[in-house]
Amino acid sequence: MAQIRQVRCFPVKLRHRDAYLGAPAQEEGYFVRPPWRSLYSARFETLLVSITADDGTTGWGEALAPVAPEVPAAIVEKLLAPVLVGEDPTRIRPLWDKLTGLMRERGHLTGHQADALAAVDIALWDLTGRLTGRSVASLLGGAFRASIPVYVSGLPRPTDAERAELAREWALKGATMVKLHLGHGVEEDLATYDAVAASGLRVAVDAHWVYDVPQAVRLARGLAERGALFLEAPLAPEDVEGHRELVRRADLPIAVGETLRNRYEFAHWLGRRAVGLAQPDVGRTGITELMSIAELAAAHHVRVAPHHSTGLGVALAAGLHVSAALGNLAFFEYQPTTCEAAGAVLTAPLPGDATGFPVPSGPGLGVDVDLGAL
């Protein structure tokens, strides 16, 4: 029986020639991009976690930690690693149950605790795959597809004319779908949609939680009339009832899920029919929990479109393996700039582009972390 010998954390802050979602407001530290309310970094920040068995085999995981990866790293080091050492890493689900119980009564199945759990869980799946010689997709029961369909996320240009030009460039590269990061006002968002849709691409809109219900209804109706792919994150992320009302009044899928960490949160949203397209992020849920979330979504006849924003190569590989194993997959989020940066922590970048991604071949996640680069 294999045993876990060591758990290590690697908070990563990587500068790339382009920042996530375009030019940053400042060169150092964290900042807000109005009208959005969240903190962003000028760098790509993430947490990598390695788990090593007693025979020296190592598996890798990654948490979605776009700011302050030191925080989930401290959770892994102080709370999770001491429990893991000496355990059999192939007992992934029993370990998940044990780890999620450590702080559950204190309300910590969400936030940084969940992010730390996600990184550890991904590393356990990778390690188990390496120990058994099987890919993660195979361990999950087999792949429904060999190639993962994607949409291009973001056209980081300041004007509609420049966004439209970039959309045409993506269309020439074989892209078929694109998502706009907007939230600048209903009329402004619809004007941007019209400019970009002229490229021939199918278009979705991410409103970054900025609207109230009446505004979101107007935007949703305008997008539905135009044949939009989906409307993501239109209302405040805690407003379940507002999203439920919007789903009833909108004639296109309302996408939600990047802020949610576990099956219990998703069960509430799905049970209230407050989401039309589920967007869990494996860097916030882990593989074990994402598969449970996907089954819940399937039971509610909701498709899954895994979220992916600033996660680097390990999270990207995990997202692709999970996507391959989902019967109710819609598509995967392709962040061009993130994917360029993602390979910096790997010995070889993952192949894939706007036309889709092949499922990485095993064992495990099918990627190797470059320790020298770290």
Show which residues are catalytic. 208, 307
| 3-state SS class at 337 | helix
Please state, in angstroms and rounded to a whole number, the distance separating the CA atoms of residues 347 and 326: 28
The beta strand positions in the chain, using DSSP E, are 4-14, 30-32, 39-41, 44-53, 58-63, 147-148, 150-153, 177-181, 202-206, 231-232, 254-256, 277-278, 303-304, 332-334, 357-358
Which residue, chain included where needed, has tokens 């949609």?
193
| Contacts for 78 with CB less than 8 Å, ≥ 6 apart | none
Closest CA to 28 of 37, 40, 17: 40
Asked whether 150 and 356 are in contact (CB, 8 A), the reply is yes
Task: Compute the distance between CA of residue 80 and CA of residue 31 in angstroms, rounded to an integer.
Answer: 30
Residue 143 φ then ψ, to 5°: -90, 135
For residue 61, list its beta bridge partners.
Answer: 49
Distance CA 188, CA 222 (A): 12
| Euclidean distance between CA atoms 237 and 361, whole angstroms | 36
Q: Which residue type is seen at 17?
A: R
The answer to whether the beta carbons of residues 115 and 65 sit under 8 Å apart is yes
d(CA 9, CA 139): 25
Least Cα distance to 76 among 60, 53, 88 occurs for 60
Cis peptide before 35 (omega within 30 of 0): yes
**Could you give the CA distance from residue 46 to residue 48 in angstroms, rounded to a whole number?**
7
